[in-house]
Structure 1
Amino acid sequence: MENDIHIGELIKAKFASSGLSVAEFARRLHCDRTNIYSIFKRSSIDTKLLVTISEVLEYDFIGEYRGDTSIKTDVSTFSVNIKIDGLKDTAQFEALLKVLQDWKDSDETLQP
């Protein structure tokens, strides 16, 4: 199975939209700032590091390699997986994303 993903560029794009500084990102990855720039240039990456980056940036990079079309939103202990092909149209999908984003931005929590 061939995968044309340049993981470093994808990480860089997700990092850019994260609002984190390079220093904070490096601190959370337990490395120095120069290593962050090195990660952005990599076309492949260690799985353990990728899992850590996924947790820090709250994005499923492993799913990119699997070709997973699920959208995963983790908020505290709340996790939602949605198959895109299960939605009838993009309007439904956009409405669902808005509801999830509004919930994520609210102070509401789920009780077990």
Structure 2
Amino acid sequence: MNLKDIHIGSLVKAKAEELGVPATRIMNFFNCTEAEIQEMYDQESIDTKKLLRWSKLLHFDFFRIYTGHLILYSPPSKTDRAIKLESSMLEFRKSVYTEEVKCFILNKILSGQMTTTEVLTKYKIPKTTLYKWIKKA
């Protein structure tokens, strides 16, 4: 999956086809016609309310795709670093790395496109996390 250029409509369509959800069920769920469903499949971006409904219908978090994009392609902001320095309390942090992100990073390393040092520097992934992924691969 290409996380740089996200065409959410085609991803929704692929998931619906993968699960074999009948078109009539989708039309009843959204209360719309088959042409309107096809129009949603053709859209590069979908309204968040509709995307939330797709996530519920297909039991898949489509918003995580955008989270993966942010992790990989957005530069760290100066305010984030300043907040981290000011905070002295430890915070519980749930894993924000999706399987797609893990696969993307591991493919870069295993194909020789990047070294582990380059990945650590570019994507700011904790060293222990990266080495656990490599060990499991």
Give the match for residue 33 of structure 1: 34
Task: State the one-letter code of the partner of 2:64.
Answer: G
Give the match for residue 51 of structure 1: 52
Alignment of 1:1-112 (within 5 A): 3-67=4-68, 69-70=97-98, 88-90=135-137
TM-score normalized by structure 2? 0.49
Give the match for residue 93 of structure 1: none
Secondary structure at 1:49 match in 2? helix
User: Alpha-carbon deviation of 1:18?
Assistant: 1.3
Higher relative contact order (CA 8 A, sep 6+): 2
User: Alpha-carbon deviation of 1:29?
Assistant: 1.9
- 2:29 & 2:54 partners in 1: Cα distance? 9
* Structure having the larger proportion of residues in strand: 1
TM-score normalized by structure 1? 0.59
Task: State the one-letter code of the partner of 1:52.
Answer: R
Q: What are structure 2's unaligned runs of at least 5 residues?
A: 69-95, 100-128
* Structure having the larger proportion of residues in helix: 2
- 1:6 & 1:33 partners in 2: Cα distance? 20
The structure having more radius of gyration, on CA atoms, is 2
Q: Deviations over 1:9-39 (max 9, x none)?
A: 1011101011211111111122221111001
Task: State the one-letter code of the partner of 1:70.
Answer: T
- 2:32 & 2:26 partners in 1: Cα distance? 9
Task: State the one-letter code of the partner of 1:17.
Answer: E
Q: CA RMSD in A?
A: 2.3
Aligned residues: 77
- 1:36 & 1:69 partners in 2: Cα distance? 30
* Identity value in percent: 32
Secondary structure at 1:17 match in 2? helix
- 1:30 & 1:50 partners in 2: Cα distance? 15
